[in-house]
């Protein structure tokens, strides 16, 4: 960071993503979600450092790839990005058609004479109205700009879509429409990593939920369990759900810690109703939760603390071995459900 400060924006992020799976990464502002996404796309600033790996099923390591490989072979082709702010992502001075045509030409090598038809096809895929193709981004509503950006993200037929806050600033109706459209574009063989602080949007779309706090994934769970009767197991995740207006509407007291001044132990301890002296030691993610006092969940009493593996293969399949990953299938063929994992860590210098 400026002034020579070094912060670890993301630490020990471990997860897998199977072909066609939809994972929502949730957490409060500033917890490191976008840094994680940027790391996967090779879009971190020059002075950022990463460690570990993020491996696709064809063994491409997103963290090891150089800029040339990222630009030529990965972005758009293996990982499609649905941006946070479509209006800012689209080029203001060019029509939607010309931007689609350019991407079609680049990614699909479509001959000049067929570009317009290919752009129309790309538009239709994302439900962008063809009669708006000759408009400039500022002439579009928020929803249509989002569809234009989604159309661009889908052109390369990448097996993984990465959407960073795709619903920011949209009203509830539009949030639901956007999320449903993302669901339509993913799930068969195309996986989705959706970053959001909107838990309702996450619930609507995700198969699994990863909760991030102060740069770490503190819980990863099947969405059904997380939002259902079992509920979240990490006190922070529980707090997030309890804070929802449609649930208990009880905000979590306090604020997240500065990433530059994290405690040695659990970063949530100072806000946590369950904190004890044990929390001075960093809890590791075991069985899908990183907490010394994790909630056992309904009907599973006793899966406390260090009861590693009390939950069998729930947590990230690799049983807590160091390693994280994004695996997404390369082809449309069905794949085995879980990809191997490697570890990943990203920090800002």
Minimum Å distance from CB 29 to Ni ion? 7
Q: How many Å apart are CA 76 and CA 96, to the nearest integer?
A: 17
**Nearest CB to ligand ATP, comparing residues 164 and 311:** 164
Residue nearest to Ni ion (CB): 34
Q: How many Å apart are CA 311 and CA 266, to the nearest integer?
A: 22
Q: Which of these segments, 15-23, 33-41, 104-112, 173-181, binds ligand ATP (CB under 6 A)? A: 33-41
34 binds Ni ion (CB under 5 A): yes
Q: How many CB atoms lie within 10 A of CB 140?
A: 20
Minimum Å distance from CB 238 to Ni ion? 23
**Nearest CB to ligand ATP, comparing residues 197 and 208:** 197
**Nearest CB to Ni ion, comparing residues 34 and 95:** 34
Minimum Å distance from CB 309 to ligand ATP? 29
Token pair in block for residue 9:
């924006």
Q: Which of these segments, 32-40, 56-64, 172-180, 203-211, binds ligand ATP (CB under 6 A)? A: 32-40
46 binds ligand ATP (CB under 6 A): no
Window 193-222: contact mask with ligand ATP (x via CB under 6 A): ----x-------------------------
**Nearest CB to Ni ion, comparing residues 30 and 305:** 30
State the residues that interact with ligand ATP by CB under 6 A. Answer: 1, 9, 27, 29-35, 45, 165, 197, 259, 348
State the residues that interact with Ni ion by CB under 5 A. Answer: 33-34
């Amino acid at each position: 960071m400026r002034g020579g400060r070094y912060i670890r924006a993301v630490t020990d992020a471990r997860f897998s993503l199977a072909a066609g799976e939809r994972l929502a990464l949730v957490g409060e502002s500033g917890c490191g979600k976008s840094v994680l996404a940027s790391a996967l796309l090779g879009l971190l600033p020059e002075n950022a450092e990463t460690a570990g790996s993020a491996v696709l099923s064809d063994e491409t390591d997103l963290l090891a790839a150089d800029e040339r490989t990222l630009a030529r072979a990965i972005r758009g082709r293996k990982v499609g990005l649905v941006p946070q702010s479509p209006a800012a992502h689209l080029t203001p001075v060019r029509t939607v058609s010309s931007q689609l045509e350019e991407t079609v030409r680049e990614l699909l090598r479509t001959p000049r004479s067929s570009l317009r038809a290919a752009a129309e096809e790309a538009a239709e895929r994302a439900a962008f109205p063809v009669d708006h193709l000759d408009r400039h981004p500022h002439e579009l509503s928020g929803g249509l700009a989002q569809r234009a950006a989604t159309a661009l993200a889908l052109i390369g037929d990448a097996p993984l879509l990465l959407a960073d806050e795709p619903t920011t600033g949209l009203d509830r109706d539009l949030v639901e429409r956007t999320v449903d459209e993302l669901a339509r574009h993913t799930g068969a063989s195309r996986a989705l990593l959706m970053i959001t602080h909107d838990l309702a949007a996450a619930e609507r779309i995700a198969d699994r939920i990863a909760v991030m706090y102060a740069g770490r994934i503190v819980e990863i769970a099947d969405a059904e369990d997380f939002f259902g009767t079992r509920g979240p197991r990490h006190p922070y995740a529980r707090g997030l759900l309890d804070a929802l207006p449609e649930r208990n509407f009880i905000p979590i007291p306090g604020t997240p810690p500065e990433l530059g001044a994290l405690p040695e132990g659990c970063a949530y301890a100072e806000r946590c109703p369950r904190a004890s002296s044990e929390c001075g030691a960093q809890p590791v993610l075991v069985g899908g939760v990183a907490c010394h006092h994790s909630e056992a969940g309904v009907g599973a009493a006793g899966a406390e603390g260090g009861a590693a593996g009390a939950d069998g293969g729930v947590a990230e399949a690799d049983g807590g071995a160091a390693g994280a990953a994004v695996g997404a299938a390369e082809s449309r063929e069905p794949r085995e459900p879980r990809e191997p994992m490697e570890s990943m860590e990203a920090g800002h210098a």
